[in-house]
Structure 1
Amino acid sequence: MSGETIATTQWRALDRDGEDKCRLARLDQGWMLVGHARFRDGNGWAALDYVIRVDADWCTTSADVTGEHGGDPVAVRLVRGRDGWTVNDAPRPDLRGAEDVDLAFTPATNLMPLNRVPEVGRLDTTAAWVRFPGPLVSPLTQSYTRERGGMVRYSAEETAFETQLAVDRHGFVTTYPGLWETSE
């Protein structure tokens, strides 16, 4: 990976066996997030690597996920262009307006919207939500509201999920209640 490393983090899963290691690098025109998630879920073991490219405004431009999940190979590429999103080169008009990719298996992808949340206030955004097995990709309407003490209220409309995230100075989640916490 090229670019200057800005931060690294590592999480341990709280709801299953698993861990995720991630690195954030600054590039000439934005950022790159590179991670390695290893976990066991209802479909077996997963070893997923991801690379996410982000523009200078912290909006996702592309994401690649490769590896294996439950014994099946995984290779998915999402790209946001002028005409909208593609998933493995197939146009996805249902994702029009999405600014980010949300990989359901890692807290790493909360980084992009968390870096756009105002110091005081709320950010409403939509992500291309990637879940496994599949991959299944659909829009996910999200809301982030900065609260006192470095906490951010997070909600996802389609799932009616809501929680409070602890976040570090780089925008990485440090505590995702019941799901993830940093292990460094």
Structure 2
Amino acid sequence: MTVPVIDGDRVVLRKARDGDVEGVIEIQVDARVRRFLGGPRPERDVRAGLESVGAAELLAGAGCYVVASQETDEMLGTMVLDRRGPEMPGHLDDGGNELELTYVFRRLAWGRGYAVEAARLLLRGAAAELCDQPVLIVTQTANHASLRVAERLGFAIVDTFEQWGAEQTLATAQLHAFRAGNWR
């Protein structure tokens, strides 16, 4: 994605700023947020990493966005649309490298529909720039909230597999389904 800012009704997807540091730290150290992501990371390690590069640089990649409140600009979470490397398990075809949507939100943003709104905005933007192709969401099968986000977006579960000592669910949708006017 080449667009630096994507505006929605309640959220804005934007590039990270150094002012997002505390939100990034919260996401990395909160045990409930990291429950299905390998557990919390030590705050001193996260803080040291951010101090060495800054939040803006750490989250500068194409397809990587901070999800912020449209009203307050407070960081709610992060959302990334990138390629799932072929070395990772969980693909539709041998060779992989499909688009993968990943997201993580601070607890203060849970249960409010921000992830679905932000994902639709990002996928709609990607559909305007890229040719039609599958998009993946991979989440721990035990992460029912993440599976509900995938379902609300119209992703269909196609497989399960083991990774990081837990069952993962692979869901997919076609990118063209998110073009403007094709809202699910």
TM-score higher than 0.5:
no
- The structure, 1 or 2, with the larger RCO (C-alpha pairs under 8 Å, 6+ apart) is 2
**Structure 2 length-normalised TM:** 0.31
Report which of the two has the higher share of helix: 2
